[in-house]
Amino acid sequence: MAEFDAISKHLIQTYPNDFASFTLGREDVEVLAVVDTEQLTVEAHQTDSLIRVRMDDEEVLVHNEFQTTDSTNPPMPRRMAGYIGHAIRQHGLPIYSNVIYLRPNAGRRDPGYYIQERLGYPIAIHYRVIRLIEIEGEHVLESGQSGLIPFTPLMKPPEGIASDAWLQQCIYTARTHPIARSYRADYLAGMVALSELVYESETISDIIFKEGIMDLIRESSLFQHLTQQSREEAREEGLEQGREEGIEQGIEQGIEQGLRESILDVLEIRFDLPASHPLSSHIAAIDDLQRLKQLHRAAVQVSNLDEFRRRLDSIE
């Protein structure tokens, strides 16, 4: 799940204060630096992130490891013992380690510690297990912690709200967040990508269309980073087509499908158009995004089906 690792690392590097405060559960933390884990020695696996902070007049490390699923080979406690031990050896500082599970069903069996019970040689290494589905997402949205906003669709929604309504609320909050356009683009690009862990692509595409944010997502430096990474992976694997095109095509196809369904819904509501009507199959076969946008406007504006049919013929 390199894509989600890249998103998480990008957001932590941009908003280290938010992540340090979130995982430590306190605001009185001064971030000193984000440690470049790419510089770790080759014999050790790279951790997801290390943030050097000052807390209670002491310099410490905050270690966050992101997981989409449960780790079984090796189990997460063994992995964390290795990461923590290496960080202690490398930096010689106290360390506060966390595993952040992204998928709702992940992390349930993670005990949060590695224990060796041998006579005369006991070892105990503890870390905090954070399952996003157990975090109150609305509280994070209201707190204004910018770096955490892209993760809110993976968090616990308010009681009684449907999942698609919750996703739309998260996207709306990110879209209207009072920050620079380039940063907001990163929120949205990261949020859309992370949402794929939980939501159906069709649901995500429909909300992207409703919120009108596709162009903004394409502006995102995070989106460009992910697509550049995908191109490099595609070249290494000898693929003929980079994953960037696949990402864009998938999103555009989802938007087109959402438009087609929206056009048919409008025609059904306004003019009682049955699914068996020839117009329905005609619209379902259109795969041009610009034409679909024009037809959607026409469906809302025309006064009858004949007028809509003439509009359809005029933009063939």
Domain assignment of residue 96, yes or no: yes
Among 67, 99, 134, where does a domain finish? 134
**Taking Cα atoms as reference points, which of 208, 249, 244, 210 lies closest to residue 228?**
244
Return the higher-pLDDT residue of 229 and 57.
57
Among 105, 134, 163, where does a domain finish? 134
Return the higher-pLDDT residue of 21 and 206.
21
* Tens digits of residue pLDDT in 32-71: 999 876 544 434 445 578 999 999 999 999 999 999 888 8
Written as six digits, the tokens of 194 are: 């992370």
Number of Cα atoms under 13 Å in the Cβ half of residue 219? 12
- Provide the pairing of β-strand 113-116 with 123-126: antiparallel
Domain assignment of residue 55, yes or no: yes
Are 128 and 249 contained in the same domain?
A: no
Domain assignment of residue 139, yes or no: no
Domain assignment of residue 119, yes or no: yes
Please name the residues in contact with 138: beta carbons below 8 A apart, sequence gap of 6 or more. Answer: 157, 158
**Taking Cα atoms as reference points, which of 290, 293, 287, 239 lies closest to residue 263?**
293
Are 246 and 127 contained in the same domain?
A: no
Domain assignment of residue 148, yes or no: no
97, 111 contact by CB (below 8 A) = no
Task: Please state, for a pLDDT cut of 70, what percent of the chain lies above it.
Answer: 85
The burial of 263, by beta-carbon neighbours within 10 Å (0-12 exposed, 13-18 middle, 19 or more buried), is given as: buried
pLDDT of 92: 95
User: In which element (H, E) is residue 244 found?
Assistant: helix 243-271
- The residue segments making up the domain with residue 31 are 1-134
Domain assignment of residue 182, yes or no: no
**Taking Cα atoms as reference points, which of 314, 177, 184 lies closest to residue 192?**
184
Q: Detail the DSSP E strand segments found in the chain.
A: 30-35, 49-55, 58-67, 95-101, 113-116, 123-126, 128-131
Residue 104 reports pLDDT greater than 80: yes
Are 130 and 249 contained in the same domain?
A: no
Domain assignment of residue 152, yes or no: no
What's the number of domains the chain is made of? 2
pTM: predicted TM-score of the whole model, two decimal places: 0.71
Domain assignment of residue 62, yes or no: yes
Among 119, 134, 149, where does a domain finish? 134
Are 124 and 8 contained in the same domain?
A: yes
